[in-house]
Amino acid sequence: FFFIFRTSGTEFTYFNLPLYFSRLRTRHLGRVILHIPVATTTMNVCASLCDAIPTCDGAVVVARQQTHGQGRGGNEFVSPIGAAMFTVSTALPQSCSLAKTPSFLQHVFAVAVVDGVRRLSGLEDFPLRIKWPNDFYFNRSHKVGGLLATAKCRDDGLLISIGAGINVSNSQPTVCLDDMVPDGSDVKFNVEEVIAETLNRFEYWMNMYEMKGPGEVLKAYYEFWLHR
């Protein structure tokens, strides 16, 4: 693998690359990484990166803090330190199944987030749920994160970019993953492993869709669904 890394001051002050790569088990997602201490939004940075290097498939852009995070409907927000804020891009060839139903990819990613967090927690029923269509909630009343997906046509297929923000260790402005750990558990989450495990599971569930269609993904989605 190779990576692009940008920081200031002491190395690994803001993002622990060895920890991230020790958790990452993908074939290509997240193997190229750009870390920025402060960004307007990782979505814009990722778009610029993909325009500059079209072959940079699977790149992930991570920010310690965003000043103009993007949500659905053009909403903007300031992202707090302690949240996992990242955008990953992936190219879908015209021949693949997901290229024919690109809107479904946001649901694949939502499954990957909850699946990844559960695996990190070691708990089969960690209380993170998907709220339709692309938010993450705790106890039906506390938003923990969300995602935004975009698609761009290319000669060889589609370029998909998915941006996500997940409260990991920041208890404000709502709750975070650390707040959701049951009493008596010593589980502590970190941004690096949350991003890496999400990418692990995203690649897994994309491959599952290509091999078996949407059935297994939908089964997991309904299992993680807040509204069930």
43: pLDDT strictly greater than 70? yes
pLDDT at 211: 96
pLDDT at 70: 59
- Write the CB contacts of 51 (distance below 8 Å, at least 6 apart in sequence): none
pLDDT at 11: 57
pLDDT at 99: 94
Residue 73: pLDDT band by 50, 70, 90 thresholds?
low
23: pLDDT strictly greater than 90? yes
Residue 95: other Cβ atoms inside 10 A: 9
Q: 97-138, pLDDT tens digit by residue?
A: 999 999 999 999 999 999 999 999 999 889 999 998 889 999
Which helix (DSSP H) or strand (DSSP E) does residue 153 occupy?
A: strand 142-154
Average pLDDT over residues 4-8: 47
Average pLDDT over residues 91-98: 94
Q: Give the architecture (CATH level 2) of 17-224.
A: 2-Layer Sandwich (3.30)
pLDDT at 57: 87
pLDDT at 95: 93
CB 89 within 8 A of CB 175: no
Average pLDDT over residues 59-74: 76
> Backbone dihedral region of 157: left (phi > 0), alpha (psi from -120 to 50 degrees) or beta?
left
Average pLDDT over residues 184-205: 97
Residue 19: pLDDT band by 50, 70, 90 thresholds?
very high
13: pLDDT strictly greater than 80? no
> Considering Cα of 218, then 150, then 158, then 51, what sign does the dihedral take?
negative
Residue 72: pLDDT band by 50, 70, 90 thresholds?
low
φ, ψ at 135 (rounded to 5°): -115, 160
Q: 153-174, pLDDT tens digit by residue?
A: 988 889 999 999 999 999 888 8
pLDDT at 228: 73
Question: Is 99 exposed, middle or buried, given 0-12, 13-18 or 19+ CB atoms closer than 10 A?
Answer: middle
CA neighbor of 59 nearest in space, from 20, 32, 96? 32
DSSP 49-96: HHHH-TT-TT-EEEEEEEEEEE-GGG-EEEEPTTEEEEEEEEEEETTS
φ, ψ at 38 (rounded to 5°): -135, 130
Average pLDDT over residues 200-208: 99
pLDDT at 141: 86
Residue 17: other Cβ atoms inside 10 A: 15
Residue 34: pLDDT band by 50, 70, 90 thresholds?
very high
d(CA 175, CA 142): 7
Q: Rounded mean pLDDT of the chain? A: 89
Strands 60-70 and 33-39, by their bridges, are parallel
